[in-house]
Amino acid sequence: MIELHPLHQFTVRPLIPITVGGWDISFTNSALFMVLTTLLIIVVGLVSVRSRALVPTRLQAATELLYEFIADMVKTNIGNKGREYTPYIFSLFLFILFGNCLGMIPYGFTFTSHLIVTFALAGIVLTVVTIIGFKRHGLHFFRLFYPKGAPIYITPLLIPVEILSYLSRVVSLSVRLFANMTAGHAMLKIFSSFVVILAGSFLLPLAILPFFISVAVTGFEFLVALLQAYVFTILTCIYLNDAINLH
């Protein structure tokens, strides 16, 4: 029986049950697609640079163009001081992009449609940014929460607001990615369900309309997958800029 519920596709299922000390740490379908995403990135990277030909192959050219695109984004938003963090930004971009796109494959699983995953990614970003800030500026990093030139009498109100704003970056990053991927995939499943229902009834000719809508939504979802990876990484660059080029 085909499951038509639009949220059924987001169910996390254990593939290899593992329990340690009463804690369930089973290897799930979500974990599987994270591993597949990581392996796919590694394989594509190794294959694309294997020949290092003067006249690059299509895959090598595409990989180089993508890396240059990310490197230019880092330089534009952070400056030359941010060049050393380009590999991290590039890896983050590819992980989100490939994870989003693998979920578009039939019977695939979109782990970026789970808030706990996107929250973890955003939490890592904030942790890295904070560590870099303290490493570069020491205790002077706290100046980030008290903008230069701000009146001293609003300090009791300004600092808590700035700290809350800083911590809310995790929520902003995680919810944006999670919400877009979940909504898009749910909408795609709804229109696909219409195709299945109408195709199995006397209204078969009407199935062509939701079918074409499903095709259009699929193409749109691939665009959203790219845009969300871009938005996540460019916001990461902006946060890194705050930590590196402290104002």
What tens digit of pLDDT does each residue of 134-173 get?
A: 999 888 888 888 877 777 878 888 888 889 999 999 999 9
Rounded to the nearest 5°, which phi and psi values hold at 170? -65, -45
Looking at residue 154, its pLDDT comes to 83
Looking at residue 233, its pLDDT comes to 95
Q: Cα(85)–Cα(57) distance, rounded to whole angstroms?
A: 27
Q: Cα(28)–Cα(9) distance, rounded to whole angstroms?
A: 14
Nearest Cα to 112, choosing from 167, 163, 176, 187? 176
Structural domain including 77 reads 26-50+57-244
Tell me how crowded residue 196 is: count the other CB atoms within 10 A of its CB.
Answer: 13
Looking at residue 119, its pLDDT comes to 95
Reading the block at residue 158, the tokens are 């300004």
- Quick one: CA torsion of 231, 234, 239, 244, rounded to 10 degrees? 170
Q: Cα(48)–Cα(59) distance, rounded to whole angstroms?
A: 5
Looking at residue 1, its pLDDT comes to 43
Residue 177 maps to a domain: yes
Nearest Cα to 238, choosing from 85, 64, 63, 134? 85
Mark the ranges of the chain whose per-residue pLDDT is less than 70: 1-8, 51-55, 199-204, 206-207, 247
Residue 92 maps to a domain: yes
Looking at residue 247, its pLDDT comes to 65
Give the predicted TM-score (pTM) of the model. Answer: 0.87
Q: Cα(219)–Cα(190) distance, rounded to whole angstroms?
A: 16
Residue 10 maps to a domain: no
Residue 12 maps to a domain: no
Integer angstrom CA distances of residue 138 from 134, 147, 150, 229, 237: 4, 17, 21, 31, 20
Residue 88 maps to a domain: yes
Residue 194 maps to a domain: yes
Looking at residue 53, its pLDDT comes to 64
Residue 201 maps to a domain: yes
Reading the block at residue 232, the tokens are 């996540």
Question: Biggest alpha carbon distance in the chain?
Answer: 74
Looking at residue 77, its pLDDT comes to 92
Q: Cα(247)–Cα(240) distance, rounded to whole angstroms?
A: 12
Rounded to the nearest 5°, which phi and psi values hold at 232? -60, -45
Q: Cα(153)–Cα(80) distance, rounded to whole angstroms?
A: 37
Q: Which residues of 61-87 are buried (b: 16+ CB within 10 A; e: fewer)?
A: eebeeebeebbebbeebbeeebeebbe
Reading the block at residue 20, the tokens are 């340690």
Q: In this prediction, what percent of the chain has a pLDDT beyond 90? A: 41
What is the chain's mean pLDDT, rounded? 86
Residue pair 145/162 in contact (Cβ under 8 Å)? The answer is yes
pLDDT digits (tens, 9 = 90+) for 97-120: 999 998 888 788 889 989 999 999
3-state secondary structure of 146: coil
Residue 11 maps to a domain: no
Instruction: Indicate the number of domains in the chain.
Output: 1
Write the DSSP symbol of residue 26. Answer: -
Looking at residue 4, its pLDDT comes to 55
